Each structure stands twice: as structure tokens, then as C-alpha cells.
């Protein structure tokens, strides 16, 4: 059959030839295409440390003014640092802040006399705990974070006479965590 004959036949049926061609092309699916790209996922983790002072009183207890030097080992704190973050802990008396050797002075309101004390890292009172970060002669405590709280006990011993007026003597110790 010729195109002219087909066209005449379609016209006789009342169908436009363009419609037939359109219908025939609609039956043939177009080839599928895929476009691709990438997306980056990122998070920045920074080092962090926090100090918790749940048991934060180094309590030398109650003693008569005629007592000799007394020690205490009931104060402490914990440090929580990001996993694998190295850190050091220094302790420094607020009353004697210019020193970094762990020595402090407790005072009582309205009383001129004070009571001196020394902070230590160990129960044998052999290793002072201060705030000196020098490579040699430093007296800070070093550790590495685990992501969990790490507990520390503070030991202390009075270094001056307790022959002072009755009162409640105290000092604030700053906990300095450097990471």
C-alpha cells in the first residue's frame, strides 16, 4: 500500500493521519536517564573538659587549738574530658593565688590569724599538688580523657599552728583543668 492509499483509507475512517502518527510514537517509550551527584556528611568534634565538684570540701574536721598538724583526705572532684584528650589538673588557693606550689591559707571572718595548709596528690603526702605546669618541677596531675568522669581525691595537711582563736577557717581552692 502506498502512503496516499493509506491516507485515503484513514480519511475514509474519519481519523486524521497526524493522530495516528502521534499514537504510534506514544507507544514507543523514551530511554531512561540517571543524573548523579554526591553529598558530604561532616561533624566537627572539639575537645572539651568539665569539672564536677560533688564532694568538694577538704574537711580538716574540728580540733582543739592545742592540736598539732592535722591532715585530711575527704575532698575531691571529677573531671570529664573528650575521649583521648590529654589534660592537666592544677590546684591553687584563692587566698594565696600568686603561688603555684599548692600552699594555701585558711582564714575566719573577723579573725586576724590564719591557718596554713598544703595540698597533696597522694595519701602519703609526698607529692604536692599545685598549679605549676613547668616541665621540670611541675606539680600538676596529668591524665587523658576517656569521655567518662574520672575521680580525684585531694589530700591536705595543716602547716601552721592551730593555736588561733576559735572559729571556722576556710579557703577556696581553684581547680584549673588545662587541655
Give the domain CATH number at 99: 2.60.40.1090
**Sorting pLDDT into bands at 50, 70 and 90, what band is 163?**
very high
Provide the domain limits for residue 21.
1-27
CA distance 91 to 56: 12
17 with 65, same domain? Answer: no
pLDDT in tens, 89-103: 999 999 887 778 999
**Residue 33 DSSP SS3:** coil
Please say if the pLDDT value at position 17 is more than 70. Answer: no
Task: Domain count for the chain, please give it.
Answer: 2
Q: What is the pLDDT of residues 106-141, one digit of tens each?
A: 999 999 999 999 999 999 999 999 999 876 678 999
Rounded to the nearest integer, the mean pLDDT of the chain is 87
Residues 6+ apart with CB under 8 A from 110: 167
Residues 139 and 75 in one domain: yes
Do residues 82 and 127 both lie within one domain? yes
Whether 59 and 157 have beta carbons less than 8 Å apart is answered as: no
In a domain, 6, yes or no: yes
Average pLDDT of span 58-87: 93
pLDDT-based confidence at residue 78 (cuts at 50, 70, 90): very high
Strand partners, 155: 120
Which percentage of the chain shows pLDDT scores above 70? 83
Residues 63 and 117 in one domain: yes
Q: Is residue 24 over pLDDT 90? A: no
How far apart CA 154 and CA 91 sit, in angstroms, is: 9
Q: Evaluate whether 178 touches 87 at the Cβ level (below 8 Å).
A: yes
Q: What angle do CA 123, 99, 108 make, to 5 degrees?
A: 75
Q: What is the pLDDT of residue 25?
A: 54
Mean pLDDT of 166-175: 95
Mean pLDDT of 6-27: 54
Q: What are phi and psi of 123, to 5 degrees?
A: -65, -25
CA 33 – CA 59 distance, rounded (Å): 77
Residues 162 and 113 in one domain: yes
Of the candidates 120, 4, 109, 107, the one whose C-alpha atom is nearest the C-alpha of residue 58 is 120
Q: Do residue 3 and residue 59 come from a single domain?
A: no
Pairwise CA distance, residues 55 & 49, whole Å: 18
* Mean pLDDT, residues 20-34 taken together: 67
* Grid coordinates of 142: 596529668
Asked if residue 148 and residue 60 are part of one domain, the reply reads yes
Amino acid at each position: 500500500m502506498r502512503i496516499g492509499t493509506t491516507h485515503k483509507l484513514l480519511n475514509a475512517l474519519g481519523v486524521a493521519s497526524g493522530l495516528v502518527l502521534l499514537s504510534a510514537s506514544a507507544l514507543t517509550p523514551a530511554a531512561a536517564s540517571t543524573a548523579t551527584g554526591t553529598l558530604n556528611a561532616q561533624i566537627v568534634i572539639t575537645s572539651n573538659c568539665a569539672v564536677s565538684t560533688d564532694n568538694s570540701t577538704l574537711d580538716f574536721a574540728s580540733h582543739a587549738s592545742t592540736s598539732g598538724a592535722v591532715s585530711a583526705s575527704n575532698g575531691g572532684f571529677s573531671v570529664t574530658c573528650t575521649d583521648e584528650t590529654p589534660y592537666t589538673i592544677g590546684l591553687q588557693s584563692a587566698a594565696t593565688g600568686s603561688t603555684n606550689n599548692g600552699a594555701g591559707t585558711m582564714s575566719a571572718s573577723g579573725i586576724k590569724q590564719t591557718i596554713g595548709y598544703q595540698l597533696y596528690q597522694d595519701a602519703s603526702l609526698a607529692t604536692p599538688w599545685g598549679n605549676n605546669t613547668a616541665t621540670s618541677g611541675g606539680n600538676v596531675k596529668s591524665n587523658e580523657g576517656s569521655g567518662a568522669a574520672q575521680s580525684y581525691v585531694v589530700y591536705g595537711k595543716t602547716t601552721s599552728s592551730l593555736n588561733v582563736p576559735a572559729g571556722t577557717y576556710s579557703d577556696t581552692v581553684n581547680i584549673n583543668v588545662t587541655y
